[in-house]
Structures are given as structure tokens and as C-alpha cells.
Chain A
Amino acid sequence: MAKEVDRRTLLRGLTLCTLGLGGVFAFGDLLEILAFPSGQKIALAKTVIFTDKKLCSGCRICEMVCSNFNSNGRNSFFLARISVEKDYLKGDYRPKVCLQCADPPCLKACPVGALRVDHLKGTYARIVDEKACIGCQECVKACQQYFRPSRSKFDPQRKKAFKCHLCFGDPECVKFCPVGALRVERSERGFLVGYPVVQED
């Protein structure tokens, strides 16, 4: 059933993206794509977060609720898995979420296999297994090649990488966004999103 991403699919994705349909979309009956030269496949994420920057008020509640929830009460933009890139004078606010890439550079870069797909919660999010993480920051560097700021971050205090894991399927940032600039999409077929379809959102 699974098939590889061919050139045609990619082009279609890019076209849709430039049409501004949100940068996140699903089509076909894709479930996983070939990501490793070895032939190992990575399942597509079944849950993703949409953003609508037009609605964003720049309040940064998403950042705070994320770090508060996921970093055990340490509140800081630095520990947030979502970030709002803001031009304060121009009033241009862009919430940046992890796109749960179809072909995730972070996952492929991890030398110890600490990054994996969350089959357990059914979101198929790309998550960091903290027990396995050695804090080498390769995932941060890999993400940075395509996305800025890097969606994979490094906590110097705990010496571990962390990234968006969709709050086990029920993202707090989406629930707490007071204006509705964020929303969750779910698809059993999976989403062909992020790298390589979209590189910088």
C-alpha cells in the first residue's frame, strides 16, 4: 500500500504550498515514505498543527503553555516547542510549529536512534526519547538546515534535546491559543508535510 514519494507528488505538494493552502496537507493514501538509504521507512504523522498567521495576536500564550506543561513548570520561551517569530514594529507575527516532516531531517540525523515516531499515542509525531538522548544536538543542526528557528531544541540544564510531541495527541498550545490561530488536523492516511515538501514556512 505504501508508496514512495515520487517527483510528481513532490511537485504537487510544492504547488499546493505556494498556493498558500497552509503548508500542511494530505492526499493520496500515503502512510509512510522511504527515508533511509537502507530501505527503512518512516510513517507519516497522523496529527499535525496548522497555523494561521493572519489571526495571530503575538501574545505568546502558546509558548508559555507549552513550556509550562512540557518542562514541568519551567516557564520560558526558550523551553517552548512552538515559537512566535515577531516583527514588533511591523506587526508581523508568525507562529512556528514543528511540521512533523514526512522525511524528518532530525530523526535521520540522530546517531543513537533517540528520535522516533510515536506509534504508541497514535499521533505518529516525531519525538525525542529522553532516556536515549545523549545531548549531541545533531537533530537541532539538521532541522536548522531547513527550518529557522530549529524546531528541535536543546535544554542546557538537562542536557537533552526536546521537540514538539503534540502533547500526546492533544496539543495544549492549540487549546490555549486565545484567537484561534492554531488548529489540529488529524488524518488516518497521514500528512505529507514539512521536509521535503516545505522547507521554510
Chain B
Amino acid sequence: MNPRGGWVGKILRVDLTTRKISETSTFDYVPNFLGGRGLGAKICWDEVPPEVRAFDPENRLVIATGPLQGTLAPTSGRLMVLGKSPQSSPVESFTRSGIGGHFSPELKWAGYDAIIIRGKASKPIYLWITDQKAQILDATHLWGLDTYRTQEMIWKLHGNKTRVMVIGKAGENLSRIACILTDSGDASGQGGFGGVMGSKNLKAIAVHGTRSVDVAKPKELMKITHDIQALFSRKSLKNNPYEPEEKGFKYNIWGGGYGRGSLSLLPGELLDLCNEPSSGYSQNPDGCFACPVSCRSHVKGPDITSGVAFCAQSYMYLESMIHEPEKGYSKITWQAAKLADLLGINAYELMAIIPWLSDCYRAKLITEEETGLPLREIGSWRFIFTLLHKIASREGFGDLLAEGGQRAALKLGGKAEKLSLMYYPRAGNFGGYREHWVYLGGFPTGYAVPPLALMWVLDNRDAMVSHSYISMLWGAAFAIGQDALTAVPEKIFPLLKPVMKAAYGSEEAAEFLGPDGKSLNWKWVAPVVKRYHEHSLLKDSYIVCDILFPYLFNANTSDHVGDLSLESRLYSAVTGMEMGLKEAYQKGERLCTLERALAVRDGRTRKDDILHDLYFEKEDAGGRKYLQQDLERSKSEYYGLMGWDVETGIPTGRTLKRLGLKEVAEDLGKRGFQRKEELR
């Protein structure tokens, strides 16, 4: 069956060394690899062999949209950035990074499904793409400018309908924790692809298109869109954009415990100012392209940098709230996040670096003199200002931190390294990413949930980026009035059962504690994590939002059962190609195995799928522990379910062939990653 919509059919290839611009057909890759994360993985498999380092000109920067981008499909404002990541530590390895906002539809309207950038320009340049034309233009005058100013300069030239993906000083100076920013705060942070742009002397990618994306079944798309809107959002009250018109309705993100506008969650000086009409400060829910929820806040005021911030940016500098507790979330907390955006630093990584520095200072491992940082006043504006500028310009101690927290800690060694372990859970050669829900509710509080540990060891980045599983747990907890501090996991099991049955095929999977409440139940971990991976890969390949999809938990009904078919229904309506759930999960499995093969080729094996010992030593709030032998057993089960070699964690030749990845099997064989008996 041929697609009748969705993809626009062309991939733009740019070689910055030779300045050659060409096109290939998207249909060389799709519908087999869907788009986004799947498409990018395939391109990286074909073009980025393990010898290529992240900052080599031969590394590819792949910017990939999926079939849904540029259409009405809810939350289709996303795209994926892929390539060899400089942030993965200590081994640079393939990873992906998502970005929301309004860039992706513009790229589709300009006539491209993806951009593949290779080579290195001889001087700073930017890429200007419009209606199936691309040009490499001089960016000498933009080099060194902050991310806002660069965009403003580009808008002056190409009009303000142009959307721009841009790097700041951090990216220019090849920081491994540099982000790519678009508009006022949407960023591709994890992975450090801002540094990859910098290594190519590529300051920005500007795009504007006036073409269109065809939708195969427009009426069907409208119907699904209507259904999705009804599930997730309601129109706002006239006087309060944060409150839904319909009383008692919960915006269905984060299990219903969270609504529009991220700032409304952060009480303090800034929110007070925004709530006072005469102050000149204001905040409004701000939507990514085609998003019915608008979970971010756009904040503005006379003496702050205006813009959107969400999650990582909002929580980046909570130290300021400890420094000045009476102010709560203050103008400084906000401005710190905006400074990171202006300089193009990944805010999420700073959430590890800052507390780690604080730990090191308290343990007297680093001093103010040798670092040049006002460590005595972590939480102050002077501290964050100095820190961020030093990182961005790689000055003094900032040069070390620009390598990312884990690399910096390895270099310092000794106790400083030990202190970093709790912020970077994954041991082995493929870490480098900050802790993210290894324990529900944060580490070391909250409670241990076995699937979270397995998700974490297997990912090639930080796990739980897809909020799916964790949102479901939170949703269940909120529904019975629990929060992170008061949670008693046994109480949510009855509520979770029907939800888990629908999402993961098993009621029993909801019981992640043993009957005594003291031990953890690992029985269902492997199948749950397999399904979680399939969901995540599909969501990132169609591309829809991490926070809304997969839709596991409905906060507004009594049984709380979500709807797993939403994404594939969107896909079917847009492309005109039927996609049942079973087929979708098979595709997810294939893409997950392909990503694994990419990591394997970079040298990853079973022994890299492991957490630091620390994570097996700490007890959760209920006195339970992750046990290493349990995790190892679940790993074996998972590898078995995926058809990967149980001893090595490498996808077997037979599995790869079954999944239609013959070329991957052959290449892995040639490189000696397959068992001999497999090769015959």
C-alpha cells in the first residue's frame, strides 16, 4: 500500500565541506522506518560507523520529522535530532534528542522530511531552507551572538515567519552539553547536539516554507483530533487561562496532576508578580505547534528575559530557592534558566552539575580559588552567572564542566567522582546522562519500582523521557490523594490493574511489590519494559509529544484506562495506510533493536547495562532495595523476549533478519559481534 499523505518525500543532504547540496527520496527509508527516531537511526546506521567521533566532520547531524509533522495531528510540533552524541560518556555513542515548538511544520512545508548535515564549513555559516531550496550563507556576523539575538538577526533578513534552530556560545565552543534552541525556549538538550553543530561551524538552520503536507483522510484526522482534544484538554475559563471551563476536568497530562503553564506549579516571587496585573509581569499558557494542552508558560516582565520555559528549565536552578527561601521561585531562578538558553547550555545537565559542585564544595574537594566560582553562594545570581559564562566560553574551570558532569567527575577522580555517581546512575561505558526517576519521586526518596531500573540500564540516553509509565504511576497516586512524600505503593495497585491490563497486557504487572510489601516483584518487569520501549520508539517516530503519549492513564474516568490506539489512528488518517496495534508494536520492536544494534556497534554489551553499586545499596522510603541479581535476571528475560543474545545483549542474526534488518545483521557479523554459529 502506498502512502497518500504525511511524508513530503524529500530528504535534504548538505555537505558543508564541499558545499554540495542534494536531495534523496524519503521513500528509500519509509514507511519501513516511519520517521523521526526510526528514520534517523537508519540513516545513522548507514552513514555513521563506530570509528566516527562526535565532533568529526564525518558525523551526521540528522534532523528528522515524521509523517505527522506539519499537519493538524495533535502535538505534531516535534522533531528528532540524531547522530553520534558527544555527551554519552565515556564512549561517544548514537543517541537521539527531541525538540518541540514550531520548527518541524515549517521544515515540512518547505518540502523536506529530514535534513542530513555532514562535513565542516571553513568559516561560520548558517543554512537557509525555503520551498525545496537550500543555501549555505555566511554567519560570521552571527558567531558569538546569543540565541535570541541570532534569531532576531535572521528574522530581519528572512522575515519573522522563519523558524530557526540555533546554537549559542556553548555550542560554538564545542561544549558537550550544548543545546540547540528554537524560538524562546524549545531546545534539543540531551545528547549535546549543539556541540555537533558548533563542530561543523553551523550557527543556525533557518527554514520557511509555503507548501503543504497532504493528509490522506482529512475528515478522519479531524475526528481523531477532536477525540484527543476531548481527552486531554478543555477550553479555558475566560478570566483564568489555567482553569478549564468544565468544572472538575483534569488536563490529562502527568496523570492529571498537572495542567497548563509550567510556572503555575512554581510558587514564589515570580508567580506572585505575574498574578498581580499592575506589576507588568505576566504569564500565559503557550502551546507548541498543534498542541491542545499548552503545558509551558510564556513569562514576561520588565526586567527579565521573556520566553517559554518548561520542566528542565523551570527546575534548573532550584538552589536559588534554598539560597533565598523567602522568595521561592524568584526572578533569579527564572533568569538563570533563560541565561542557559541564551548561551545554549543544556539545562537538564546543569541540574546534575550544580548540586554535584555543591556536594564537592561541602566535602572540601574544590575551592573558590581554583575554580574561580563563588561556591560559597550557590543559589545566588553571581554564582550562576559566573558558572554559565565560564562553561559557555570554556574558561578556566568551565572548560572542564563544558565536558559534561560525568566526564568532569571522571577527570577529577577520587571522591569527586564518587559524589557524582548518584547523579549519573548508569555505570559502564555508556552513561553521561543525569538521573531521571530511577526511583519514583526522585533519589533516594520515593519508592523503588523495578521496571524503572530496567528501563534505565537499557536506554542509550536517560530513560523516562517518555513520561508514559511514570505518568501512569503518578496519575494513580494522585487519584487516591498521594504525593511523592506520602506515597504508599500498595494502595495504588487496585487502581493500576485495569490500566496496566490495557497498556501492558497484564493486571498482575501492577503489583510491583511482593505480598509482604518489603520485597520487589520483578516478575513482569521484562514484558512491561519491552512494551514501554515499543511505545517510546513509535511515539518518537510518528512523532508525537512525550508528555501526552502513549496515553496510558485517564484522570477523568473511574476506571482510568487510557487509549493505546491514538497514535496509530493518527498515522493511519494522515498517511492513509492502515496500522493496527499489533503491527505497530512489531515496528516498535524493530526500531528498538536497530537502536540497540547502533549501540552494540559502538561497543555496548550486557555489562554496560548496569547501574552504579550505590543504586543497589540505598533503600527506598519503604525500606526496599533494588537487588542486583533481580535486575540481572530481568535483563536476561528482556534480552530473551527481544531475541537478543542473553549473554551479550547483542541482537542475534536471526532476530535481525526476522525484523527485516538483514544489512544490520551482516554488518554486525562482519565486525565480529555475532556468534560464529549465527553467521552460517
**B612 interfacial contact with A, CB 8 Å:** no
Q: Are A75's CB and B214's CB within 8 A?
A: yes
Q: How far is the CA of A71 from the CA of B290 in the complex (A)?
A: 18
Q: A90-B300, A176-B229 are in contact. Are A65 and B294 (CB under 8 A)?
A: no
Nearest-neighbour CB distance to chain B for A177, whole angstroms, equals 7
Which residue, of B151, B184, B287, B291, has the highest number of chain A Cβ atoms within 10 A? Answer: B287
Contacts of A178 on B, CB cut-off 8 Å? 229, 233, 235, 287, 291-294
**B71 interfacial contact with A, CB 8 Å:** yes
Contacts of A71 on B, CB cut-off 8 Å? 212
Name the one of A59, A65, A77 contacting B291, with C-beta atoms under 8 angstroms: A59
**B38 interfacial contact with A, CB 8 Å:** no
Nearest-neighbour CB distance to chain B for A189, whole angstroms, equals 25
Q: How far is the CA of A54 from the CA of B70 in the complex (A)?
A: 25
Q: Are A61's CB and B72's CB within 8 A?
A: yes
Interface residues as binary, A59-73 with B (CB distance below 8 Å gives 1, 0 otherwise) = 111001101110111
Q: How far is the CA of A77 from the CA of B70 in the complex (A)?
A: 9
Q: A58-B287, A59-B290 are in contact. Are A89 and B71 (CB under 8 A)?
A: no
**A9 interfacial contact with B, CB 8 Å:** no
Question: Main secondary structure on chain A at its contact with chain B?
Answer: loop
Which residue, of A55, A78, A175, has the highest number of chain B Cβ atoms within 10 A? Answer: A55
Interface residues as binary, B238-256 with A (CB distance below 8 Å gives 1, 0 otherwise) = 1001000100000000000
Q: How far is the CA of A60 from the CA of B288 in the complex (A)?
A: 9
Within 8 A of A (CB), among B173-219: 183-184, 210-218
User: What count of chain B residues pass the 8 Å CB interface test?
Assistant: 52
Q: Are A76's CB and B183's CB within 8 A?
A: no
**A10 interfacial contact with B, CB 8 Å:** no
Q: How far is the CA of A52 from the CA of B237 in the complex (A)?
A: 12
**B476 interfacial contact with A, CB 8 Å:** no
Q: Are A68's CB and B72's CB within 8 A?
A: yes
Interface residues as binary, B1-32 with A (CB distance below 8 Å gives 1, 0 otherwise) = 00001000000000000000000000000000
Q: Are A79's CB and B151's CB within 8 A?
A: no
Q: Are A76's CB and B284's CB within 8 A?
A: no
Nearest-neighbour CB distance to chain A for B248, whole angstroms, equals 17
Q: Are B225's CB and A78's CB within 8 A?
A: no
**B307 interfacial contact with A, CB 8 Å:** yes
**A113 interfacial contact with B, CB 8 Å:** no
Q: How far is the CA of A49 from the CA of B495 in the complex (A)?
A: 44
Nearest-neighbour CB distance to chain B for A35, whole angstroms, equals 32
Q: Are B238's CB and A88's CB within 8 A?
A: no
Q: Are B235's CB and A179's CB within 8 A?
A: yes
Nearest-neighbour CB distance to chain A for B395, whole angstroms, equals 28
**A172 interfacial contact with B, CB 8 Å:** yes
Nearest-neighbour CB distance to chain A for B136, whole angstroms, equals 25
Q: How far is the CA of A74 from the CA of B574 in the complex (A)?
A: 11
Q: How far is the CA of A69 from the CA of B222 in the complex (A)?
A: 8
Contacts of B222 on A, CB cut-off 8 Å? 65, 68-69, 172, 176
Which residue, of B71, B72, B285, B292, has the highest number of chain A Cβ atoms within 10 A? Answer: B72
Q: Are B306's CB and A89's CB within 8 A?
A: yes
Interface residues as binary, B156-178 with A (CB distance below 8 Å gives 1, 0 otherwise) = 00001000000000000000000
Q: How far is the CA of A49 from the CA of B3 in the complex (A)?
A: 36
Q: Are A76's CB and B70's CB within 8 A?
A: yes
**A57 interfacial contact with B, CB 8 Å:** yes
Name the one of B160, B241, B300 contacting A179, with C-beta atoms under 8 angstroms: B241
Interface residues as binary, A86-102 with B (CB distance below 8 Å gives 1, 0 otherwise) = 01111100000000000
Contacts of B217 on A, CB cut-off 8 Å? 73
A-B contact pairs, 19 of them (CB 8 A): A52-B238, A55-B241, A57-B241, A58-B287, A59-B289, A61-B287, A64-B71, A69-B222, A71-B212, A72-B218, A74-B212, A75-B212, A76-B109, A89-B151, A89-B152, A89-B306, A91-B300, A172-B222, A178-B292
Please report A residues at the B interface, Cβ cutoff 8 Å.
52, 54-55, 57-61, 64-65, 67-69, 71-79, 87-91, 172, 175-180
Please report B residues at the A interface, Cβ cutoff 8 Å.
5, 70-72, 74, 102, 105, 109, 148, 151-152, 160, 183-184, 210-218, 221-222, 225-226, 229, 233, 235-236, 238, 241, 245, 260, 284-294, 298-300, 306-308
Closest 3 CB pairs of A and B: A59-B287, A76-B212, A180-B235
